[in-house]
Amino acid sequence: MRKSQKTEQIADHRWMAGLEDQEHIGARSTASGENTRMSGIKFQDLVLARNNLNLAYQRVTKNKGAAGLDGMTVEDLLPYLKEHRKELLEQLANGTYKPAPVKRVEIPKPNGGTRKLGIPTVVDRMVQQAVAQVMSPVFEQAFSESSFGFRPGRSAQQAIKQVVSFYNEGFHRVVDLDLKAYFDTVNHDLLIKFIEQYVNDPWLTKLIRRFLTSGVMNHGLFESSEKGTPQGGPLSPLLANIYLNELDKELTKRGHKFVRYADDCNIYVKSQRAGQRVLESISNFLEGRLKVTVNQKKTQVGSPLRLKFLGFSLGVGHGGAYVRPAKEPKLRIKQALKQITKRNRGVSTDKIFQEIQQKMRGWIQYFSVGKMTTFIQTLDKWLRSRIRQYIWKQWKKTKTKINNLKRLGLSTSDAVKSANTRKGYWRTAHSKTLLYTLTNEKLERLGLMNLTKTLQFIQSA
């Protein structure tokens, strides 16, 4: 049943205040590990408040995403809620709400293998989002300053800047921790225990446990979920951070310099010997206390100049350390552009330009904190050659080539000579003819993204 209008208005008011200053009114300090209540307002009231649920709906529909096990899309969510709103609120309030199993989806990793995702139904996603919105401000007060992943106002770029700072302070060795299948191995009982250090609300922890144990549907077969917090739902990143916050607290207690982004954690020390010692003791803590497995094959102690973190690597110049994209991301982005500009695709150049824009804007934005001007300039030049090759292939017939070359400023005799060349597409793309007719400026006017200008714009903003 719905709460009384007065209670709902109080909960709505307190939630909106929490949105404004990122702190719930009346929340007790969580730094010391005290249980947290909202000045007489239960978490249940905050989660089910109208404003909170409306915000959760808006965020789920904005994020779109694939349908879950029931096939319901985000477009179907509003009609469903109009018809079943009262029933849904009653189930949530009285504790009978039962999340559906998540749909197993596997996506390829850049370095090989697959990453397992669990896609909840859109209704479950909305409920998870509503819970996360209430819990996040509480745990933000408890999380470490050295944790950067899946947190409001924090980013991978900030994490890598912290790495540079540590290196310049003399921490020239890193313990690069790799947790084996972390999201699939989180211990549910320990996670609930860590939540209860800061949140004392049986209704909330019961609901979270139901999400954790809802199971997975994998190729039509149901699999129980006795451990793990599947990636794919709005609540999963927060729960993962709550769990590994115990690692952060242990590292802080020991006085270590570290940077953590989700399950990627680097600990910075001043010698190889210290690194080996820290690796052994922290591995014992992770496997003994947190019940997660350290991947010994991938975990290592080494130089930050040779190891990569979050797709970046370090270099050193006269001004100290600096970051740059690691070798692998550069190879991957060039390969992606190569697939987009394959000369036998048979799609319009407008579509090609649109796909390049979609792919490169986010990539450049992510790596813009790094030193990569030379790489981008080289990539720009190569990409323009790929486009010239694509356009030359599109013209096909000799007559079409002659007409287009004349339209672009070539004399009739030169156009005829160039159109009848026996050179291959790639050699022709570098010829004086296409460099003269399909200039850089002309390609940009047609819609080709100028990568160098984009990088300069982002870095100067």
Q: Residue 316: which H helix or E strand, with range? A: strand 312-317
CB atoms within 10 A of CB 406: 16
Three-state SS at 242: helix
Per-residue pLDDT, 21:
37
- HSE toward the beta carbon, residue 314, CA cutoff 13 A: 25
Q: Do strands 300-302 and 173-177 pair parallel, antiparallel, or not at all (unpaired)?
A: antiparallel
CA geometry: angle at 68 spanning 245 and 128, to 5°? 35
The span from the first CA to the last CA of the chain, in angstroms, equals 50
* C-alpha pair distances (Å), 162 with each of 13, 57, 148: 37, 35, 10
- Helices 272-288 + 236-253 axis angle, to 10: 130
pLDDT at 457 over 50: yes
Is 335 buried (19+), middle (13-18) or exposed (0-12) by CB count in 10 A?
A: exposed
pLDDT at 167 over 50: yes
pLDDT at 15 over 90: no
Per-residue pLDDT, 106:
85
In the numeric block, which tokens belong to residue 92? Answer: 């949530």
Q: 361-399, pLDDT tens digit by residue?
A: 999 999 999 999 999 999 999 999 999 999 999 999 999
How far apart are the C-alpha atoms of 94 and 88, rounded to whole Å? 10
pLDDT at 23 over 60: no
How far apart are the C-alpha atoms of 269 and 63, rounded to whole Å? 40
pLDDT at 442 over 60: yes
Three-state SS at 325: strand
Of the pLDDT bands very low, low, confident and very high (cuts 50, 70, 90), residue 41 is low
Beta-bridged to residue 312, according to DSSP, are 309, 325
User: Could you tell me which of 214, 224, 213, 215 has the C-alpha nearest to residue 191?
Assistant: 213
Q: pTM score, two decimals?
A: 0.85
Beta-bridged to residue 267, according to DSSP, are 175, 258
DSSP per position, 408-438:
TT--HHHHHHHHT--S-HHHHHTSHHHHHHS
Mean pLDDT computed over 141-147: 97
Of the pLDDT bands very low, low, confident and very high (cuts 50, 70, 90), residue 291 is very high
